[in-house]
Structures are given as C-alpha cells and as structure tokens.
Amino acid sequence: MSVKVTIYEVALAARVSLATVSRVLNNPEKVKPDTRERVLKVIKELGYRPNAIARGLASRKTTTVGVLVSHITRASVAEMLGGISDIAMKYSYSIKLFSAHEDVNIIELINDIVAEQVDGVLILNDELDASRMKKVKELFDENEIPFVLANVVNDDRSVPSVSIDYEKAGYEITKLMIEMGKKDIYMLSTVRKYSVNDKKELGYTKAMQEANLMPRVFRTSGTTSVNRQHFANFFADKIIDGAIGVRDSIAVSFMNIANESGRSVPEMVSVAGFQNTKYALLSRPTLTSIDIPVYDIGAVAMRLLTKLMNKEQLDSLQVVLPHYIVRRESL
Amino acid sequence: MSVKVTIYEVALAARVSLATVSRVLNNPEKVKPDTRERVLKVIKELGYRPNAIARGLASRKTTTVGVLVSHITRASVAEMLGGISDIAMKYSYSIKLFSAHEDVNIIELINDIVAEQVDGVLILNDELDASRMKKVKELFDENEIPFVLANVVNDDRSVPSVSIDYEKAGYEITKLMIEMGKKDIYMLSTVRKYSVNDKKELGYTKAMQEANLMPRVFRTSGTTSVNRQHFANFFADKIIDGAIGVRDSIAVSFMNIANESGRSVPEMVSVAGFQNTKYALLSRPTLTSIDIPVYDIGAVAMRLLTKLMNKEQLDSLQVVLPHYIVRRESL
DNA sequence: CTGAAAGCGCTTACAG
DNA sequence: CTGAAAGCGCTTACAG
C-alpha cells in the first residue's frame, strides 16, 4: 500500500500540480480550502509521507539536529537525551547522534556533522578548552549552524549554553558542612580532569578558605573497585570529618569504606555527593546529594536551540538552571 | 574557508567533470591514479565534504540507521547506545534517534522513520505484542528496510534479534538458591508487565516447580521510595529465605529493608539481582547479580544490521549472548 | 489560488 | 578511464 508513494502520484490522483501538493503540506493557507481538502484526502488514502531527504535537499533545511555526546555510556546521558528528544519531538525535529571518543578529533567530527546538513547542534558533556572551543565556534559560525552547550562548563558569554552553577553548588555543600562544625573536609574528585569537577572543587576551595580551613582534594580513578583500595589506604592515617564526592557513586563508595573501617557516617564523618541519583537513595545510610536537573538541562538546551534555529531574539544566551541540596542521613 | 564547497567547485578546480569527482569518492579504483591524486588534492585544499543529503537522495542510501528506543532515560540505554555507536562509526553509519513513549502510536512512528529514509532500523527495549510485531514487520518489509531487535523478547524466528536468554538466567539463579537449601524464594518483579521480566519469572517458576517449591512473585511499582513501604508491609508476616529482584535496584532496595527489619542478608535471606550494575557493587552487602552485556547487545545488533543492509548471507538471525552470575556477598 | 520550471548537490547508467 | 546527461523527490520564486 504505502510503498514509495511520491508527491507526483499524489498530484496525479488529486488532479493538481506538484507545487500544490507541496503547498498543502508546507503553506496550507495559500491553497484554496476545496483543493486543500481534496489533496489531503488523497495523501491520506495513499499514505503519502514526504521523503525527508528530498525535502532537505530542496529546502536546505533538514529539521534535524545533531547531538554530539562525549562519554555516551554514562547514565546521565540517557536522562539528558530524554529531555532533548521530548522537546525535539514537540518541535518536529529529528535527532542525529554523534559520539565523541577521547581519541577522535573533535574538529574532524564537527566537519562531519556539518556535512550531514543538520540545522543545529547540541554539545553534551564535553571538555573543550578555550582554543578548541574557539575553533568549534568558527566552524559552526562559518556554516551558519547554531549550537548550544548542554552541561558543559563554558566561560565564553557569546556561546549559548545551559547548565547549572557547579561552583556555587560546590560552595554551598561545603559551607553547609562547615556550618555543622566540620573542619577536616575532603573533596573526593577524579584523577582525570573534568571541567565540571574543576568547578566543584573551586567552590569547595573557596568555602574552605573563607573559613580558614585547609582545602584538600583526593583524586580517585573513578572505578568503584579501585576506589576501595585507594580510599582505604589513603585515609588510614588521616583525620577526616567530612567528604564530598564529585559523583554519588564516589561518595557512596567512600561511605562504605568509612563505615567498614569504624568511622561511622554520619556520626564521625559527614558525606555528600553530586547528582542525586538512585545511588543516593539505595545506599546505607542514604546519601545527601546535590540534585542536578539533567533531564531539564537537555530539554531547555533543545528548546534554546529551536529558538536559535528560528532566529528568534533572545535576552540571554546563558541559562543556569537551579540545583538544590537533598538532605539525607549521611549529613 | 570550507564554506559550502560543492562537488562542482572541486571539479572545476581539478579540471575534471562532476562524475569523476564522485567516482574518486565512491569508486576510486575506476579512476586513473594521476587524476585521482589531483582530485584528492583539491578536495583536501578546499575542505570539501559531500553533502550527505544530496548524496542520500541521488543514491537512495543514506548510510543512516534509525534507532527506536523506548524508555530512553534508562541508564542501560546509554550503555547500549555506546555499543551501537561504536560499531556504527566503524562502518560509517550515522544514527538517528527516535524515542517511543508509552502513548505514541508505534506504527505512526515507524512510518515517520521510514519517511526519513534510513537504511536500517534498530529497535531497543520495546514491548511488542505479536500483533504489533506483525504490523511492524510488514511495514519494514514493504519498504525493504532491514531491522534488528536489541534486548527485546521475541519469539518470531524470522525476525533478527540480539538478546540474552532471560528465561535461562532466571532459571539458573533460582536453581542456585535452591541448591543452597533455600525454600521460600520470592521473585521481586514489577507491576507493569515487561516481556523481559516475564521471561525471568518464567525461568524462576520453572526452577521452583522442578524442586516442588511454591513460586511466588511479588510486584512492586519500581519506584525506590515506594518499594520501601511495599516491601516492609508485605514481608512483615511472611517467611522468606531468598529473593531475586528483576533489577539490581529492586534487589538492593529489598536487601536494605530486610537488613533493617532484622532479617540479615545473606545469613537469613539470600538476595540476587539482574544487570550487574554499579548498584550491586555499592550496596552493603554487595549484591550477587546476573551480568547482562548491554553494551555488547548494542554492538552486536548494529553489526548484524550492517550485514542485513549489505544483504549478506547469514546462518542465523537470532543471536543469544551469554550471561553469567557474578557472585558477591548477598548470596 | 495554481502551474511550469528551475534547482537543491549529488550518483549512475550510458557512450565513447 | 572520463564526460554529458538524466534523475533522485522535493521546494520555491516567478508568472499568470
């Protein structure tokens, strides 16, 4: 039935020209109601769906956005894609997914994305230093493709982005511990440098310094099984009464080891994490965590991108979504 | 520099016809080495990248696959997309992402996907009953678009699919508990029916019946916070010495409550989960779990799809990946 | 309000 | 081995 029906066959059956069929679909108000109805009827009967590729070539708009993801296997990526796809669907955009590995040349990849003729691009989770950021911006600008950073740390005010204030979040959770009387608070971060984690550390450090306390960052590999040894060895001879993990999983991992080595949480050590994932709910004690609205970051970024693609006027290119601390047993 | 360079400009600069430039890209062996080098040089200099849309229209192949995901926000989706995208990249396919919500008409969605001119489709995690499965198959067959089910329960041997044997997995873990002398083993499943979970239950039931034990399935809503009450109330007056959660999170959730209400794990109750996620590692006690190779399911499904798109001969359309039990403290 | 025609940027038989 | 030409299935000024 609906095998490869083209606009030509619709036109024939409705006794109009191709142009009219196209108008019915794209500018219905320009077509006389009678004709419009007749054409729509035929479209339905034949199960006609315009070939998106042909349409893309002719109109030079593909109604497709590229989503460039680094660390695609992360759980939060799925959450963010959920937000992106819900909004994309609402505005009838398709999503093309591009995964950036550590070793791929991001500039090459972006050239590929450009060649795919997307109308806009979302960049998730990436680590773009200033010089690469500049190059990325040039590439997109040259090709007049709007793009939005989602959950990426970025200090260039001319680049549209949606994120949360990680530095402030780091500051607040540290401050909270300090106000509870904690003095030997560690930040548990990752060996590999993530700009998001840098911001958290920055906030932590600021709060510690303001209180005349010594900021101390401990870096783990991030692998749970490895953390175990790291934590146990490192903290064996240390004084510690507070710990903030840059991820919930790191916080929980630390908490388990603390409890096992007789430093009970929260009595002796307060612990907090970032992201407010299910880990925080399933751990014992349950974990205090900073809630990051990942789904919303995706949704808002996609929404912002639609505005840019429509060349709408915007008051601000930078959206900072609110975060909040979810208090639980660990603190 | 590389702004909108077309094949025409390359041809001009290299003093050849469009056809030759096209051949250099698509059938280089048909072009004389000298000419080929000359053209390649120009392509590089101008930073030419063929417009994927135009190419798609002319060749009627888009080198794009559609990925239809239900429950896109699930963590395992990201993992599976990782496997898919790694293999897709290897074979130079792009990925178009389509998210299926509970309420969307899957048939409509597939018609959309078809209109997008993808060369093949991957269906992830979906619940397709026999009649919808039949319709989906018809649609794709009509349009000659190969498709592969990934992590979807499917009994139609003519439909390509990659998954694991969930029934066997359910059987094995239950059997293991029985062999350890457990008699009152519950399966903790979800209220909403997932065919994957049905299979797990089937295996569980089979093992219980073989041992002349009474199979008992307890259904929770799946929300962690709600589980808490459910579990506590339900098991208050029940005898139980084993529990198998259809997901790690459910198992951990149960385990926490069991421990808190004085039924210590593993001494009094053995617990196991499915998926072998980080939850299993971070819980206390650590959780025995069935490892499901989610990344591999994605990768293998994508690889299978490339074969189908190339019309390669296959010995089997059904791939069943191995699973295994990861023993930890909870059992 | 509608149609004829050009064109989007490629690929692919067909000749030579 | 290479080029001229048709065509992929649409959209969009341009006339009327």
pLDDT digits (tens, 9 = 90+) for B13-68: 999 999 999 999 999 999 999 999 999 999 999 999 999 999 999 999 999 999 99
Q: Give the integer Cα–Cα distance in Å for A269 and A257.
A: 11
Q: Of the candidates B240, B242, B246, which has an alpha carbon nearest to the alpha carbon of residue B273?
A: B246
Taking only the tens of pLDDT, chain A with its 331 residues reads 446 899 999 999 999 999 999 999 999 999 999 999 999 999 999 999 999 999 999 999 999 999 999 999 998 999 999 999 999 999 999 999 999 988 778 888 999 999 999 999 999 977 788 888 899 999 999 899 999 999 999 888 999 999 999 999 999 999 999 999 999 999 999 888 888 999 999 999 999 999 999 999 999 876 665 567 777 777 888 899 999 999 999 999 999 999 988 899 999 999 999 999 999 999 999 999 999 999 999 999 999 999 999 999 898 999 999 999 999 999 9
Cβ–Cβ gap A117/B53 under 8 Å: yes
Interatomic CA distance for residues B191 and B201, integer angstroms? 13
Token code pair at residue A297: 């970051």
Classified by CATH at the fold level, domain A7-50 comes out as 434 Repressor (Amino-terminal Domain) (1.10.260)
pLDDT score, position B1: 39
E strand residue ranges, chain A: 64-70, 94-100, 120-124, 147-150, 161-164, 185-190, 216-220, 242-245, 270-275, 288-291, 318-321, 324-326
Average pLDDT, chain B: 92
Q: State both tokens at A9.
A: 């066959």
CATH number (3.30.559.10, 1.20.80.30, 3.40.50.2300, 3.40.50.620) of B166-291 reads 3.40.50.2300
Structure token pair of residue B226: 């709600």
Q: What is the pLDDT of residues B155-179, one digit of tens each?
A: 889 999 999 999 999 999 999 999 9
Hey, what amino acid is at B197?
A: N
- Of the candidates B195, B193, B202, which has an alpha carbon nearest to the alpha carbon of residue B167? B202
Q: CB contacts < 8 Å between A and B, how many?
A: 152
Mean pLDDT of B323-331: 96
Chain A contact present for B75, CB below 8 A: yes
Nearest CA to A279 out of B50, B256, B264 is that of: B256
Q: Name, in order, each residue with C-beta under 8 angstroms of A34's C-beta and a sequence gap of 6 or more.
A: none
pLDDT of residue B192: 82
**Cβ of residue B32 lies below 7 Å from strand D:** yes
Q: How far is B51 from chain A (nearest CA, A)?
A: 5
> Three-class SS of residue B241?
coil
pLDDT > 60? residue B2: no
Fold of A62-164+295-321: Rossmann fold (3.40.50)
Every domain range in chain B assigned CATH 3.40.50.2300: 62-164+295-322, 166-291
Q: Which of B282, B210, B212, B208 is CA-nearest to residue B243?
A: B208
Q: What is the pLDDT of residue B78?
A: 94
Which residues are B190's β-sheet partners? B220
- What superfamily would CATH give domain B62-164+295-322? Response regulator (3.40.50.2300)
Residue among B52, B74, B117 whose CB faces A117 most closely = B52
Does the structure show a pLDDT above 50 at B207?
yes
CATH 3.40.50.2300 segments of chain A: 62-164+295-321, 166-291
Measured CA to C1', the nucleotide nearest B60 is D8
Window 178-217 of B: residues touching A by CB (8 A cutoff) are none
A31 touches strand D (CB under 7 A): no
B26 CB-to-strand C distance under 7 Å: yes
Q: What is the pLDDT of residue A227?
A: 67
Residue B128, pLDDT score: 80
Q: How confident is the model at residue B296 (pLDDT cuts 50, 70, 90)?
A: very high
Q: Is B96 on the interface with A (CB under 8 A)?
A: yes
> Range(s) for CATH 1.10.260.40 in chain B?
7-50
Angle subtended at Cα A149 by Cα A145 and Cα A155, rounded to the nearest 5 degrees: 110
A195 CB-to-strand C distance under 7 Å: no
